[in-house]
Amino acid sequence: MCRWLGYVGAPIEPRELLYDPERSLIEQSRQHAPGMPVPNGDGFGLGWYGRREVPALFHSDAPAWGDRNLATLSAEVCTPMFLAHVRAATGTPVQETNCHPFAAGRWMFVHNGYVADHARLRRDLVLAVRPDLFGSILGTTDSEVLFLLAITFGLLEDPLPALERMAGFVESVAAASGVADPLQMTLGLTDGARLHAVRYASGGEPNTLWSSADVETLRLLYPERERFAHFSPGARVVVSEPLVALPGAWQEVPAGSALVVAEDGVEQLPFVPRPPG
């Protein structure tokens, strides 16, 4: 199981979420996730928006907790939107091109989960990627293919329906090949203005996903926490696992649902896979 984090709000230094909390993403990467025998030590990535419309990316195939460049960079960058990901490889090589976030134009994408029997399904999935996108496949993960399939099915114009078509396509390909319950996923997707987050599994319980409560609620619940006074009123964090153990600070994203997160609020929608066309 991988872990990821997305932030939306007034500009902050990423280290405020990657390093500072008791259960920061870096601290989580050192420890075993529930049901996982190993920590998230198979690479990491940080993507953020700054002076350009397209995101800046920093990847490494080293463990996040020991990377001095990440520690320095995350304290120097100041950004209103970023995605961070720590990886636990699930059968694919530990290499930089397999590290999230993946990007195309102004969009970034992270994934926690898997496509069941991916080696068996990969050919059919990859051949469905739009021809002009085919050459941009640099790694070997199912996650990168999911992102490119979503672009193929209209992500750049209408992201959530495109993600639903992507999921529906994977499930239809899997059904034709006799693969049951192919998708386990939480997804983070952003264009620099909004963060889209999805929690879904074809069968069973999806991996966890949490959203922070609104900042005003956090300030009322925990007036002694100076950190909450620092964040802008519309700031939100979406995470695989809570960064601090404070009752009322986190809201679990329901299974089979999607969030659209912006500084002016959060919208929750059902997520229903449907085959394209």
Task: Enumerate the active-site residues.
Answer: 2
What interhelical angle do 118-127 and 142-152 show, nearest 10?
A: 30
DSSP for 181-248 reads S-EEEEEEEE-SS-EEEEEEESSSPPPP-EEEPPHHHHHHH-TT-HHHHHS-TT-EEEESS-SS--TT
CB proximity list for 138: less than 8 A, separation 6 or greater: 97, 144
Maximum separation of any 2 CA atoms in the chain, in Å: 56
Q: What does 29-84 look like in DSSP terms, one character per residue?
A: HHSPPTT-SS-S-S-EEEEE--SSSSPEEEEESS-GGG-HHHHHHHHH--EEEEEE
